[in-house]
Amino acid sequence: MKIGMVLYPTFGGSGVVGTELGKALALKGHEIHFITYSQPVRLGSFRENIFYHEVVVSDYPLFEFQPYETELASKMVDVVRFEKLDILHVHYAIPHASAAFMAKQILKSQGINIPFVTTLHGTDITLVGRDPSFEPVITFCINESDAVTAVSESLKAATYEHFNVKRNIHVISNFVVPETEKSVFSEHMRLKYASDGERIVCHISNFRKVKRVDDVVRVFALLNKAIPSKLILVGDGPERYLCERLCREFNLCDKVIFLGKVRDTTHVLEIADVFLLPSETESFGLAALEAMAVGVPVISSNTGGIPEVNIHGFSGYLSNVGDVEDMAKNMIHLLHSDNLPTFKINAKERSKEFSLEKILPLYEEIYRNLVLNN
Ligand code: GMT
């Protein structure tokens, strides 16, 4: 099939899922056309069956706000027509689903019928989408999509709860991609960040409020009183400053390492002992799954879709949002040398439930049904 994949090209989870899905489909022989405003970070180098169409946004002086949605819809029309696409798959409802709807109507007027699939990822429903200024458009686009998928049961339930949506929503979980590169774990690398006997805690996010990065520092402060350890923080965003301030306040500057944005996080995760995700809300928690896939257990909040990924007492532990004492207590228990090896094995085992081989055919089946019935 010829598939147009529309996504955010940045470090966000929805862009990662869309890019990895496109790459995996291309490997299976499908022709994938990525449509977005900049090259997706996970796209990597030249590959067979992959094409990238950049949406260039005009900066005409009249526009105080650039009309990205209009340019995106026009680009979709162009790519569908001239590359003869069979289907469009848009990741994250805002504004991708409404742009796809617009493109579909334009193409219809030209005698071309193109189905589109919308994948809901999280904040498009739980935070941004619920904003009354977006709600009517989101509701309409979800109802008008030819198929809708959500990355967890929890996100599906949230969609029915907050929007006037009656249609079927397929739950297709996020997935982990098997490593193509060889592991680079080395004791030498680990010793650069933590001395012998110290544990390494890792957190990866976009440092937005919803991630509660201050809780990451608070949990680490409690842990560090009991177990000598280091905290590696990957990513950047609006709450980083707050995080840095807290580290100074708690006198932890020599124990916390801010790496900033990292393209391939696997190599950082390989030297970690535990991953910490205390989010306020999380539709799935792809970062946690990626940690588990390299054998790193997870201490997390029990919100949204996280309990569908992290199993309490098996691949890690879950606590109520904001309960930093409980998270620290669980982390101390998990990091004990009698427990850690089992949790590491379990985390990896659990991640296998989300293997690419299990998930990819579910998307292909949706595409096939729509294309055959088009
Ligand atoms: O976590 C973010 O803020 C980024 C956001 C995105 O849309 O790029 O992530 C959401 O989608 C990911 C991929 O499906 C999920 O794993 C994340 O849980 C979800 N984030 C939230 O729900 C906060």
Mean pLDDT computed over 72-77: 98
List residues near ligand 1 (CB under 6 A): 12-15, 17, 92, 121-123, 126, 151, 174, 206, 208, 210, 281-286
Residue 183, pLDDT score: 66
Exposure of 2 in the CB half-sphere (CA atoms within 13 A): 10
Residue 182, pLDDT score: 61
280, 286, 300, best to mutate for ligand 1 pocket (most atoms within 8 Å of CB): 286
How far, in Å, are 203, 245, 363 from residue 173 at the CA level? 22, 36, 10
Does the pLDDT value for residue 312 go beyond 80? yes
Backbone phi, psi, residue 54, to 5°: -85, 135
Contact in structure between 364 and 147 (CB atoms under 8 Å): no
Share of the chain above pLDDT 90, in %: 82
Share of the chain above pLDDT 70, in %: 98
Q: Which residue has the tokens 């006997």?
A: 197
Number of the ligand 1 atom closest to the C-alpha atom of 208: 3
Average pLDDT, the chain: 94
Residue 184, pLDDT score: 66
Nearest CA-CA partner of 306 in 296, 319, 324: 319
Task: Dump pLDDT digits (tens) for 51-66.
Answer: 999 999 888 888 888 8
Number of the ligand 1 atom closest to the C-alpha atom of 304: 22
Mean pLDDT computed over 127-133: 76
Residue 44, pLDDT score: 79
Max Cα-Cα span within the chain: 68
Residue 322, pLDDT score: 98
Q: Whose CA is nearest to atom 9 of ligand 1?
A: 13
Confirm whether 2-175+355-372 and 187-354 share one CATH topology: yes
- Letter for the amino acid at 298? V
Cα-to-centroid distance, 15 and ligand 1 (Å): 9
Q: Whose CA is nearest to atom 7 of ligand 1?
A: 14
Cα-to-centroid distance, 308 and ligand 1 (Å): 14
Task: Dump pLDDT digits (tens) for 99-109.
Answer: 999 999 999 99
The DSSP result for 267-332, as a single string, is HHHTT-SEEEE--S--SS-HHHHHHHHTT--EEEE--TTGGGTSPBTTTEEEE-TT-HHHHHHHHH
State the DSSP H helix or E strand holding residue 234, giving kind and residue range, or none if neither: strand 229-234
Place 309 in a pLDDT band, splitting at 50, 70 and 90: very high
State the DSSP H helix or E strand holding residue 3, giving kind and residue range, or none if neither: strand 2-6
149, 284, 310, 359, best to mutate for ligand 1 pocket (most atoms within 8 Å of CB): 284
Residue 45, pLDDT score: 77
Task: Dump pLDDT digits (tens) for 270-281.
Answer: 999 999 999 999
Cα-to-centroid distance, 124 and ligand 1 (Å): 9
Mean pLDDT computed over 325-329: 98
Number of the ligand 1 atom closest to the C-alpha atom of 306: 18
Residue 83, pLDDT score: 98
Dist. CA 69–CA 52, nearest whole Å: 18
Mean pLDDT computed over 220-242: 97
Residue 180, pLDDT score: 63
Residue 181, pLDDT score: 60
Domain boundaries of the chain, sorted by first residue: 2-175+355-372, 187-354
Does the pLDDT value for residue 154 go beyond 70? yes
Cα-to-centroid distance, 198 and ligand 1 (Å): 31
Residue 374, pLDDT score: 82
Residue 129, pLDDT score: 66
Cα-to-centroid distance, 353 and ligand 1 (Å): 19
Query: For the chain, how many residues are written?
Result: 374
Does the pLDDT value for residue 37 go beyond 80? yes
Cα-to-centroid distance, 253 and ligand 1 (Å): 29
Cα-to-centroid distance, 122 and ligand 1 (Å): 5
Q: Whose CA is nearest to atom 19 of ligand 1?
A: 122
Cα-to-centroid distance, 106 and ligand 1 (Å): 31
Does the pLDDT value for residue 147 go beyond 70? yes
Q: CATH assignment of 2-175+355-372, given 3.30.70.20, 3.30.160.100, 3.40.630.30, 3.40.50.2000?
A: 3.40.50.2000
CATH architecture of 187-354: 3-Layer(aba) Sandwich (3.40)
Nearest CA-CA partner of 348 in 263, 259, 266: 266
Place 127 in a pLDDT band, splitting at 50, 70 and 90: confident
Alpha carbon 24 to chain centroid, angstroms: 16
